[in-house]
Structure 1
């Protein structure tokens, strides 16, 4: 069975080692091309030329520019979620897991600075892809939040609401320092961020839910 047939069948059969290496090379190059030129200005020729791969070979793995873009967004999402999952596996509690997870994400973004540009392009290229990207991230957060609530480590807020709040914090703190400034998130910023998450803005006042329960 040829590699082209494998791709046409949705990659249900495993690629050869050489085929997997070539496909990954195309994805790595596409990350740079889409990040620099943008989806609409980039072309398959840009990707193949920079990857030093024949244009015909490209179509053994991807049917179009859109398909490689979608594959790239999915891979970026999967790769950093797997990295975070691996790093937080031995965390002793929810707060430690968040600290490790945020640090891991910021470092990952530093190594993949085009992530922000590519994901934001997705909202114009394929809105459903854009939505699924964030829903996959949220699903992992929600599971951890539900476990922390069950163990009474955190308050019993709606897990999905908390998940998207945490995602928003990581998104914009990373954008402000890692993407715009191309530097590590400063310790003072990281510590303020974590204190905000786990202590909030109020100065010792009960939150609304506690007041209702009194």
Structure 2
């Protein structure tokens, strides 16, 4: 899906070439504070009940400084969805290394995502709300993840580990499974199964299928 938090000054790309993107270390730290505070605020209250003034108080940033970085609460929400998407990507990527087999890659990527989601359960509420607050961001989030899975499936096919013909359909199906096992076993909770246990179970399903042999 390294460090899932990243350095305090690290900020994921925000909505393309944002003209308000900070150019100084101090500015990047302030933006990071705003994004982290927004994740807490939106995660607890939802988009409509969250307020810019509450977000800036959480961040310890002057209200007027907010508009140095964002034009509105909507703009901040879009940036937060992009930021969370990037964190999901880096959390998975940090778990992968040279020499892993195709199935091992899927297991490690899912386990890393589940660990990230366990630490940032608000990601589910925020991404779900994006479907209604900013449908374009919502769609981009899932299309980007599916594209990465699709690339991994093609690489697995090329290596001979996976069967030929795997494509977009299989990528979206695998992504859906990953999202919902995260919801069930991480967000809703299950003390008996760790993220590694869940990822191993999904990996067995990928390897063996469900049909009796």
TM-score, normalised relative to structure 2: 0.86
Which of the two has greater helix per residue? 1
Quote the residue 2:155 is aligned against: 147
> In the alignment, does 2:131 pair up with 1:89?
no
> In the alignment, does 2:50 pair up with 1:49?
no
Gap runs ≥5 in structure 1: 1-8, 205-214
Q: What is the count of residue pairs matched by the alignment? A: 196
Quote the residue 1:36 is aligned against: 44
For each residue in 1:21-50, what CA deviation from the matched residue of structure 2 results, as whole angstroms up to 9, or x when unmatched? Answer: 001000000000000000011111110122
> In the alignment, does 2:188 pair up with 1:180?
yes
The correspondence for 2:77, drawn from 59, 69, 75, is: 69
Give the distance between the partners of 1:145 and 1:97, measured in 2 at CA. 10
Gap runs ≥5 in structure 2: 1-16
- Comparing 179-188 and 16-25, the one that deviates more: 179-188
Give the distance between the partners of 1:173 and 1:40, measured in 2 at CA. 28
Larger-Rg structure: 1
Q: Which has the higher relative contact order, 1 or 2, with Cα contacts under 8 A spaced 6 or more apart?
A: 2
CA positional deviation for 1:188: 5.3
Quote the residue 2:14 is aligned against: none
* Cα RMSD after superposing both structures: 1.9
Change (3 A) 1:91 1:172: farther
TM-score, normalised relative to structure 1: 0.85
SS of the aligned residue for 1:88 comes to coil
